[in-house]
Structure 1
C-alpha cells in the first residue's frame, strides 16, 4: 500500500473515531478511491425530544401518558383528585355492570342448554325464575343480560371520553396560562356619540370599550 493511501485511510479512521456524522465518504488519494462507511449518529433533533415543544403540547402529552400529570405540569394540583375520583366512579360502574352481565349471560346459557339437571342462579327468583308463566322468567333473564351489557359498553365509552377530556383540559389550561390578564386589560362602559345615517347629527349612546395594554 502506498504512503498516500495509508495517510488517507488513517485520516478517515480518525474521523470515524470522533463520531463523524458523515454516512459515507469517498477519499481520492490516487486514481483508486476508498469508500469508508461510518455509522449514523443520533441527530440533535432526537436528543431534544420534548425540549422544544410548546407548554400546551407538553401538558397534553403528559396527561395522555398518565391522567393528571398534565394538570401537575400546569400546577393545578387540586384537579388531580377530581380526575381520579371520576375514573374510580366510572371504573366501579364498568365492573358492576360487567359482573351482572356475566351473571345473567351464564344463567341464560345454563337455562337454555337443554339439560334439565343444570340449574342457574336465578331459577327461584320471582322475576327471573322458571315458575313464571310462558317462560317470562327466561325472557326477563335475556332482557337483564342485554340491559347490563349495554350499560357496561356505555360506561367504557364514557371512560374514553373522560380520558380525552383530561387531555383537552390540560392543553387548554396551558394555553390560558399564557394570556395576559393584568390591570392594563379592561372592559369599560363609556358614553359616546353615534352618527345618525343620512344626517349630520349625532345620537348619544353607551359603548363598550376594551382597553389593551398601554
Structure 2
C-alpha cells in the first residue's frame, strides 16, 4: 500500500510538471508544447487535478504507514499472550464456617509443564 501511494505520487508529480511546463511556455509565447490541442484553461485544470492527486497519494501512503505501525504494535503486544490449554478459569464457592455465609470467588489455575 505504501509503495502504491509513492508510485502514484511520483506519477502525478511528473504529470504536474509536464502540465506546468507547457503552461509556462504558453505564457512565454511559445506554441510548440506537447498539448497543442488543449486550451490554456484546461492546462490549468490539469495542473490542479494532478496536484490534488499528488496530495491524495501522500495521504494514502501515510495512512498505510500508520496502519502498519498499529499492526506491529498489536502483534508485539499479543506475542506474549498465552493461548495454551494450561490456563483454566473456574468459579469457586466456599461456605464460611464461622457465620455460614457463602463466599464466592474465581480461581485461576496455571500449570507449567
TM-score by length of 1: 0.38
Matched ranges for 1:55-204 at <5 A: 86-113=1-28, 115=29, 117-123=30-36, 125=37, 128=38, 137-183=39-85, 184=87
Q: Secondary structure at the match of 2:42?
A: helix
Matched ranges for 1:34-49 at <5 A: none
Change (3 A) 1:185 1:165: farther
Matched ranges for 1:21-36 at <5 A: none
Change (3 A) 1:160 1:185: farther
Deviation of the 1:109 alpha carbon: 1.2
List 4+ stretches of structure 1 deviating above 6 A. Answer: none
Write the deviation string for residues 163-206 of structure 1: whole angstroms up to 9, x where unpaired: 222222111111112222223468xxxxxxxxxxxxxxxxxxxx
Task: Mark the runs of 5 or more structure 2 residues left unpaired by the alignment.
Answer: 90-105
Q: CA RMSD in A?
A: 2.3
Tell me how many residue pairs correspond in the alignment.
92
Instruction: Identify which of structures 1 and 2 has the higher relative contact order when contacts are C-alpha pairs closer than 8 Å and 6+ apart.
Output: 2
TM-score by length of 2: 0.68
Structure with bigger gyration radius = 1
Output the CA distance in 2 between the equivalents of 1:120 and 1:212: 80
More helix by share: 2
